[in-house]
């Protein structure tokens, strides 16, 4: 039986102090670590790039912890299957495992929707507070430094992952840090490289010829210009209203991987597994070695996509609407505060803007994460209902 919305809200509200505590702890740790990264970057760019991933991890740890807290609250309300209470050590291990799996998907969202700019700008300000002339700490280009950092961090991560059964438990934190280092430096380098692509393309003769032909079409047909001018705004709306909340849903799926239930596998997945089962043991080991990391990392994302597809358009549209309403809340809260505070000198607004932004984030960000977690839990609950998915061919028994 699906719990009522009132019982779900009551369950989440009961854990809201814990949610806020995790958010504020992550916010404070991120601010301090970004500041430390800026100071370290003035000593040497390497040190700055080694500290900055810790700030990213601080934000991610708080987000993953909020997801887990909300998931547990929903489980108590009946939206998730009941599980045995976990000890503190088991909870720490669960948080560490979810954090490690979520680093790369989080950084993809982090970069694709320019959330990374918040930390980069804060890092730049912290660096320039001490050194207003130099800019070495802000330079992240492809070269021996960035390539070496990516290769060393990725290599150490692979070694620790191979030693999973023998390494101490505390090395999980080191593993998450190494994952953040190579992924973040790669993202920053790619942003630098791709930033010059449009200018390079426009200098190519073939591209210049195509742009001239497009200009001719604009001059000949007015509707072509209107159509091309509308692509950018439409894509921006689709990205923010649909793709971003779905990306957050996928990230929550990585955190909730052990609790997801998407019914039977789709036919194409069953066929792939059947073909894999017919391979010889030698080929099975080779395929597993080549694909295990990719499958383990992105399988939860596939399952979330399956959940959304099987749920149908109405539940997904309801989630998108709820996410959009919460995302729009900061603008309305800001306007409301301005009306409530009334006119003040510019210096007063400059002094209070940071506090107002923090108060807005304290309200909005945990609420966004709670909406994502609740949506994923309800989609998974729908998949557990009898008859939600068509029967699939059974997998062959392991020989």
CB 7 within 8 A of CB 98: no
CB 98 within 8 A of CB 92: no
Token representation of residue 388: 């939600």
Residue with tokens 């601010």: 31
DSSP track, 108-139: HHHHHTTTHHHHHHHHHHHHHHH-SS--GGG-
> What size, in residues, is the chain?
399
Torsion of CA 261, 262, 266, 271, to 10 degrees: -10
Residue with tokens 């505390």: 170
* pLDDT one digit per residue (tens) for the chain, 399 residues: 566 667 778 888 888 999 999 999 999 999 999 999 888 888 877 888 889 899 989 998 999 899 888 888 887 776 555 555 666 666 777 777 777 778 878 888 887 777 777 888 888 888 777 665 555 555 555 567 778 888 888 888 888 877 777 777 778 788 888 888 888 888 877 777 776 666 666 666 666 777 777 777 777 777 777 787 788 788 888 888 888 898 888 888 888 776 565 555 556 666 666 666 777 777 767 766 666 666 666 677 777 888 888 888 888 999 999 999 999 998 888 888 888 888 888 888 888 888 888 889 999 999 999 999 888 888 877 766 655 544 444 444 433
State the Cα–Cα distance between residues 284 and 261, nearest whole angstrom. 26
Nearest C-alpha neighbor of 120 from the set 95, 137, 132, 141? 137
Torsion of CA 328, 332, 337, 342, to 10 degrees: 140
pLDDT at 390: 41
Nearest C-alpha neighbor of 289 from the set 161, 156, 106? 161
State the Cα–Cα distance between residues 354 and 375, nearest whole angstrom. 31
State the Cα–Cα distance between residues 45 and 134, nearest whole angstrom. 11
pLDDT at 308: 83
Query: Cβ-count burial of 283 within 10 angstroms (0-12 exposed, 13-18 middle, 19+ buried)?
Result: exposed
pLDDT at 22: 93
Token representation of residue 353: 């803007």
- Residue 49 CB contacts under 8 Å (≥ 6 apart), including other chains: 41, 140, 146, 149, 181, 184, 185, 188
Residue with tokens 């930390």: 119
Query: Can you say whether residue 387 is alpha, beta or left, with left for phi > 0 and alpha for psi between -120 and 50 degrees?
Result: left
CB 361 within 8 A of CB 238: no
pLDDT at 272: 66
CA Rg, the chain, in Å? Answer: 24
Residue spans per domain, the chain:
1-193, 237-399
State the Cα–Cα distance between residues 61 and 50, nearest whole angstrom. 18
């Amino acid at each position: 039986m699906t719990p009522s919305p009132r019982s779900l809200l009551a369950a989440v509200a009961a854990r809201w102090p814990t949610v806020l505590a995790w958010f504020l702890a992550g916010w404070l740790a991120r601010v301090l670590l970004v500041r430390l990264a800026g100071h370290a970057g003035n000593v040497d760019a390497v040190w700055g790039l080694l500290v900055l991933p810790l700030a990213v991890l601080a934000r991610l740890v708080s987000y993953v912890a909020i997801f887990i807290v909300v998931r547990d609250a929903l489980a108590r309300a009946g939206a998730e299957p009941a599980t045995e209470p976990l000890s503190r050590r088991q909870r720490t291990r669960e948080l560490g495992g979810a954090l490690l799996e979520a680093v790369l998907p989080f950084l993809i969202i982090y970069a694709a929707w320019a959330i990374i700019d918040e930390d980069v700008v804060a890092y730049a300000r912290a660096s320039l507070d001490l050194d207003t002339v130099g800019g070495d700490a802000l330079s992240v280009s492809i070269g021996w430094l960035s390539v070496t950092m990516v290769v060393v961090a990725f290599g150490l991560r692979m070694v620790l992952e191979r030693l999973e059964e023998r390494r101490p438990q505390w090395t999980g934190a080191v593993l998450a840090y190494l994952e953040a280092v190579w992924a973040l430096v790669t993202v920053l380098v790619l942003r630098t490289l791709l930033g010059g692509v449009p200018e390079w393309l426009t200098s190519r003769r073939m591209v210049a010829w195509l742009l001239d032909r497009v200009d001719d079409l604009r001059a000949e047909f007015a509707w072509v210009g209107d159509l091309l001018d509308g692509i950018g705004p439409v894509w921006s709306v689709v990205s923010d209203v649909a793709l971003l909340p779905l990306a957050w849903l996928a990230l929550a799926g990585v955190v909730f991987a052990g609790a997801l239930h998407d019914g039977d596998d789709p036919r194409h997945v069953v066929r792939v597994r059947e073909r894999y089962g017919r391979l010889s043991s030698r080929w099975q080991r080779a395929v597993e070695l080549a694909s295990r990391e990719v499958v383990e990392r992105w399988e939860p994302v596939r399952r979330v996509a399956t959940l959304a597809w099987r749920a149908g358009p109405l539940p997904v549209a309801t989630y998108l609407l709820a996410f959009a309403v919460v995302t729009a809340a900061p603008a309305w809260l800001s306007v409301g505060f301005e009306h409530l505070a009334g006119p003040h000198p510019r210096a007063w607004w400059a002094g209070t803007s940071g506090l107002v932004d923090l108060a807005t984030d304290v309200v909005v960000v945990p609420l966004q994460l709670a909406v994502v977690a609740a949506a994923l839990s309800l989609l998974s609950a729908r998949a557990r209902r009898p008859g939600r998915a068509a029967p699939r061919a059974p997998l062959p028994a392991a020989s």
